[in-house]
Structure 1
């Protein structure tokens, strides 16, 4: 097998349950974890106006470059959103099934790892 560099900003990496790791065509067809890296310039790039949830797994999100905020939706009426600031080189683990969203303070390079199946988006109602 030839080992070649992977452009993390051009494709994602699939980490299959059987131990295989691949990218490019066919990635995502198997059952496993997905590592995604992307550059976000604006809140629109991280769908700041929507809540996201992954009911089948936790999610690791890391700010590689820049500064951003991770918000966790309240679990009960009357509670406030939890706000977690992520700066370059930091990460957070979003609990399985917890609705979350992001806002940027500066443009960011972001890396995320989760099981992609079952993920959903929901429009955020403005407070």
Structure 2
């Protein structure tokens, strides 16, 4: 076997269960056997799909910031909670738990390396979410029922979420309503 340099920014490294490592051109093949090591340069949030949540149901993921600064966001596991933010600087990493939805945003252009078992991984477009009523000022809380009441228009920014007037509401007992949209 010939040993040669591998450009980590143009290929994936697949770590096989039998102990072999394969360098292969980048392709979205999440059903391959074994773990995948990915390295990439990111200049903008679009380069890290900041507008999408990502999940890996088969394994944890290590995300490492090699150069630059970035923020990892963990989606709340229950409605009404805030996203968790993990700040990574050059030379630091975080382990994202198996099955935890996450996304990232850049503070500066960055070089990033990630390692996970990609089988079953999914992306989900980040959409408006409806925080619990207890977090809204009383004058903006929608009425009980399937739809917002008269005058419930526009949008309310709640941290990283935006509640849009066209959102719909799930029927709940009075005083305990919660939005029915996706997170």
Largest Rg, 1 or 2 = 2
Matched, 1:16 2:13: no
Q: Which has the higher contact order (CA 8 A, sep 6+)?
A: 1
**Which of the numbers 99, 111, 114 marks the counterpart of 1:97?**
99
2:79 paired residue number: 77
Q: Out of 46, 49, 71, which is 2:51 matched to? A: 49
Q: CA deviation at 1:73?
A: 0.2
Query: Residue 55 of structure 2 contacts residue 121 of structure 2 at CA under 8 Å; is this kept in 1?
Result: yes
Alignment length (residue pairs): 127
Greater strand content: 1
Secondary structure of the equivalent of 1:12?
strand
What is the aligned counterpart of 1:61 among 60, 63, 78?
63
- Counterparts of 1:88 and 1:30, CA distance in 2: 30
Gaps of 5+ in 2: 129-160, 162-183
TM-score, normalised by the number of residues in structure 2: 0.67
Deviations 1:35-87 (A, max 9, x none): 00000000000000010000000000000000000000000111100000000
User: Which residue in the other structure is 1:106 paired with?
Assistant: 108
Query: Cα RMSD between the aligned structures?
Result: 1.6
Runs of 4+ aligned residues of structure 1 deviating over 6 Å after TM superposition are: none
**Cα shift at 1:30:** 4.1
SS state at 1:24 partner: strand
- TM (norm. structure 1) is 0.95
